[in-house]
Each structure stands twice: as C-alpha cells, then as structure tokens.
Amino acid sequence: MTKREAAKNVLRYLAKAERRCGGRASLVGADGEVWTFSDLDARVDWMAAGLREEGVEPGDRVIIMVPMSLKLYQVLLAVLKLGAVAVFVDPWVGAAQIARFAAYAEPRGFVGVGKSHVVRLFNKQLRTLPVTVTTGRRVCCVPARRMWSEVVRFDGPVELYPNRPEDTALITFTSGSSGMPKGADRTHRFLAAQHEALNQEFPYEDDDVDLPTFPVFSLNNLANGITTVIPDMDFRNVADVDGARILEQMKESGVTTATASPPFFDRLAKALEVSGEEIGLRRILTGGAPVTDGQLRRWREAMPETEIIVIYGSTEAEPVAHIGLAERLSLAKKSSNAAGFCVGRPAGAISAKVIPIRRGPVVLERGGWKELELGPGEVGELVVSGDHVCQRYFRNPEATAENKIVEDDGRVWHRMGDTGYLDEKGRFWLTGRVHSTIIRDGVTIQAQVVEQVGRGGDERIQRIAAVGMNDDGLGERLVVVVETDVASSVGRDEVLFGVRARLKESEIEIDGLVCRTEPIPVDPRHNSKVDYGVLRGQLLQDKERSRRVESLEV
C-alpha cells in the first residue's frame, strides 16, 4: 500500500477513482465543458500547488464562495488535498451574515467570485487575509490579491496530506438566524462514513450519469467514478428552475439519475408534460422538504418508468431514511386519516429513537433511554446516531449541547429537530418541526398534520401553512394560511370551504383561516419548507390581515 493509499484524507477515494476510470467524464459543466477524472486530478494538483505557494498549510481554514461549477470542485478538492479545511457559507443568508460567519471561522484564505470579495472587503478581519483569490479580474489587488489564473501552478503531482480521521475536512454554515453561527463540523471520518452509507442505500450502476443539486451527492459521485452533470440553474432559486432547459441538458449528457429538492422535479415534470416527451431516467432521489402524495402522482405520470425515492436527512445526518413511491402511496391509501408523511425505515448505518418534544438541551439521566424513549406511535422528536452523524458544531459548544445528546460512553445522538413517530414496523412518520409545533389551550398540535389534512387532494392549493400566533388566553391561536392562484373570489371561497370542512371532519379546531395569492415564504435553501417565522411576522405586520384573523368565525 502506498503512502497515498494509507492516508486517512477522504480525498483518497478520488485518487482511486482516477486510477480506475481516468478517461471517463468526472464533471460536465452547465455550459457543456467536460473534465475527465484525469483532467480533474491534474487540475486539483495545479490549484493545490498554487494555494500551497500562497501560504495555505494543513489545518488552515479557507472560505470558498464559488457557485456549483467545475471551479468549485477544483478548489474544494485542492484545499482538502493540502490537509486544509474548506468552509462554506450559504450565499442566501445575506451579506451581513456571510461576513460574520466567514470571520467567525478565523480563515487564512478566501476564494470566491468577485461579488463575494466585496462583502469581504467591508469586514475588517477578512480584509487583511493573507490568501485571497478571485475567479474574476482584479485591479491593484482589488478585490483580491490573486486571480484564479495566477494561482494555478502547472507543476507535478501534489502529495496527499495524511490527515487523521478526526481532523476537520469541511465546515458548513447554514443558519441565517441571529446569534452565534452554527457550522456543521464534518471530519474526514464523517465524510468517509457518509460515502459508505450513500453507497449502501443508493447504489449506482457503472454507466450511470448523475445530475445532482446537492454537493454531497456530487462528492459521492466523484469518489465512485460516476459522472456528475452540473445543472444549468440558479441554485439560490430552485423553484424558478427552467424545466425545459434541464430536460434538454439531461438528453444532451445522457443523464440516468438525478437528486434534487421537490420544486426541481415539479418543474421538470411540468416540462415533460408540456413537451409530451419521455425521458430515460433510471432513478430520481428527492429530499430537503416533505413531499406530498399529489406531487408523487404527478411525477409518476410524467416519468412512468423512473424509480422515484423520497429521502430524509439533514446537513448533520444524510441519509437517515428513505422510501419508494409505491410504498409511500400504498401507505397513504391505507391510512384513513392524515398522520404525517412516511419517510421509511432508518438507513442501515443509522440508529433512531423518538423522545418527548422539549425546548433546550436534553441530558440523559441515570435511567438512560429507558426513562426518555417513546414507544411506537407516540409523537416526539427524532434523534439519530451513527458514524455519518455530525458529532459537533465548529467552535459552538452551546449549539452542540442544544442539539446533541451524549451517552456515558461518548456515543453522540443528533436531535433532528423534526417531530413524528416510529410505527410498529420501524418506519418513521414525519409530522412537523419542533419549532413549528403549536400548543393551543394545552393541546400539542403538529403543523404539518394540520396542513396535510387541510390540503387534502385539492390541486388548487399551491401551499398551505399552519401557524401558531401568541394569545393571552389560549397560549397560541391556530391560524391556517392557504396560498392559491384561483383568480375569482367565489373560487377562493370554495377552496377555503373545502379546507374548513376537512379540518372540521378531522376534529381540528382552528382560530383563523387566511387566503392569499402571494407566495407563502419558504426556506431559501430548498425553496420547499415553510418559513414559519417570516410568515408569522407577515401576519403581524399586515394590519388588515391581522384584523381578519382576529375576527374570522371558523
């Protein structure tokens, strides 16, 4: 075994892939540019040599703010090859948060597009970093000390740094909320375990060509020697993706599998419906938000021969569980009342438990799990453990204590923040989020269940949200907001009548029902999950709507 193979650096998987299939396409850019695995290996070495010359050393943190592209993977893999730490800050969290999160990481380097350096230059700590590289042009060291082309060194191979398994490889800051930044600390051990778990749950065929919107799947593809096609889209606006363009791209590159959030496949299905074409997709994986039965049926109609799988996980733990379309729809038919969405059995490398819904840290008492774990059918918060479950947050012990449960032997369990229950067959049913749970007059209500019942099968409802509004008497009032594109007032009243009737039939008592044609706010990352905090603020700020909520008789 060579020194390169013996290293614990997770990039060893890419080295093996290059030796096995060097002439195969590794990455296909949105513009059609193709890099083989040999091309990628060489380009990573060139960038690694340049960054090392600039002063990047093992353990240094390097901010990377480059959109999903060939260049993103070139610099990301180069940073890992040097034994340094790649730090990502999601671009949709806002300029102020980007600068604050980036500075919090105490980086030595910053590599990004020109606009990202504008944010950097307005931050005192980031302004003086010794290593700064822009993908665009520069004038007199503005916006960065080096241009991309100036960093690339056409030297020989760069030795793979032999990291320890517990060394940090990636840090991802995903929170846009106020307070201390929360960055998932992903070690080389974590990434290797995640690679193995993804292979176990979603094996690829040797000739697959994958189109993923989630970088973790791109990295897994590179480790497996599978071609990755980068979607031609704005990743900040998944819901606005051009389905026709994606369809064209899939045909051009011979795509056989795809992984994306639900809005992406909504747009693709619509494009297939409009064009009347068929597409040779072997499999699609979707996640990032609950998927309705109606969405699954539309996708099945548009892609009748495609295996459709709903996956469940999070930044800290992926994959956690998954379920196929046929099983999901079969369970929906058998259930007389909506009881959440089944996301399947936990992955083979995952252990799962459900505990009571609590705010604040959870500490195991002397009785251990016996006094805390809930039984089948009991709704609570899901907690998971496994080698591909993130153990901690970067420099944030408060967030670690809030979101992790540690056993006496050191085993760490991650609190998913999702509510639901395990059924008698060990399948997890998702009913909502801990932060969206509503307590009305002493009764705990799961927002997602209310939404599922209220929606029913009404295709005129674009989105529905159940929100808890503060109330002196009830604690929280339950207000249901319905988004529809129905133009006439009569039609909108008909939609609301149906929502009200379905909720009443399920004995769900609500205190307000609001109809709106403007979009209900959703998370900026996947454009799928309702942003309850923003929606609640909108209801409070809109005096006219607030008065309607106050006075509406349900």
pLDDT digits (tens, 9 = 90+) for 101-160: 888 899 999 999 999 998 899 888 899 999 999 998 887 777 999 999 999 988 889 999
Q: In this predicted structure, what is the pLDDT of residue 1? A: 34
Q: In this predicted structure, what is the pLDDT of residue 93? A: 74
Q: Which tokens belong to 260?
A: 């994306």
User: 206 in a domain, yes or no?
Assistant: no
Q: In this predicted structure, what is the pLDDT of residue 464? A: 96
Which range marks the domain in which residue 476 is found?
A: 440-551
> Quick one: which of 516, 478, 477, 512 has its CA closest to 495?
516
140, 164, 187 - which closes a domain:
187
User: 304 in a domain, yes or no?
Assistant: no
Name every residue whose Cβ is closer than 8 Å to that of residue 133 and which is 6 or more positions away in sequence. 51, 54, 75, 109, 110, 111, 112, 144, 145, 146, 147, 148, 151
User: 21 in a domain, yes or no?
Assistant: yes
Tell me the CATH number at 496: 3.30.300.30
187, 211, 235 - which closes a domain:
187
> Quick one: which of 462, 456, 449 has its CA closest to 510?
449
Q: In this predicted structure, what is the pLDDT of residue 344? A: 96
Domain count, the chain: 2
Q: Which residues of 349-362 are buried (b: 16+ CB within 10 A; e: fewer)?
A: bbebbbbebeeeeb
Q: In this predicted structure, what is the pLDDT of residue 153? A: 87
User: 111 in a domain, yes or no?
Assistant: yes
User: 338 in a domain, yes or no?
Assistant: no
> Quick one: which of 88, 310, 73, 347 has its CA closest to 193?
347
Measured CA to CA, the distance from residue 213 to residue 234 in angstroms comes to: 10
Name every residue whose Cβ is closer than 8 Å to that of residue 97 and which is 6 or more positions away in sequence. 89, 176, 181
Q: In this predicted structure, what is the pLDDT of residue 547? A: 54
User: 344 in a domain, yes or no?
Assistant: no
Measured CA to CA, the distance from residue 170 to residue 164 in angstroms comes to: 14
User: 527 in a domain, yes or no?
Assistant: yes
User: 329 in a domain, yes or no?
Assistant: no
The sign of the CA dihedral 336, 340, 343, 346 is negative
Measured CA to CA, the distance from residue 87 to residue 100 in angstroms comes to: 13
187, 212, 232 - which closes a domain:
187
User: Look-up: residue for tokens 């060291």?
Assistant: 141
Helix or strand holding residue 2 (H, E): none
Q: pTM, whole model, 2 decimals?
A: 0.90
Q: In this predicted structure, what is the pLDDT of residue 180? A: 63
Would you write out the chain's pLDDT as a tens digit for each of its 554 residues?
344 443 589 999 999 999 999 999 999 999 999 999 999 999 999 999 999 999 999 999 999 999 999 999 999 999 999 999 999 987 777 777 888 888 889 999 999 999 999 889 988 889 999 999 999 888 777 799 999 999 998 888 999 999 999 999 999 986 544 456 789 999 999 999 999 999 999 999 999 999 999 989 999 999 999 999 999 999 888 888 999 999 999 999 999 999 999 999 999 999 999 999 989 999 999 998 889 899 999 999 999 999 999 999 999 999 999 999 999 999 987 765 568 899 999 999 999 999 999 988 999 988 789 889 999 999 999 999 999 999 999 999 999 999 999 999 999 999 999 999 999 999 999 999 999 999 999 999 999 999 999 999 899 999 999 999 999 999 999 999 999 999 899 999 999 999 999 999 999 999 999 999 999 998 877 677 899 999 999 999 875 545 555 444 44
Q: Which residues of 194-228 are buried (b: 16+ CB within 10 A; e: fewer)?
A: bbbbbeebbebeeebbbbbbbbbbbbbbbbbbbbb
Cβ atoms of 458 and 464 closer than 8 Å: no
Tell me the CATH number at 35: 3.40.50.980
At residue 546, what are phi and psi to the nearest 5 degrees? -60, -40
Name every residue whose Cβ is closer than 8 Å to that of residue 328 and which is 6 or more positions away in sequence. 293, 296, 310, 341, 342
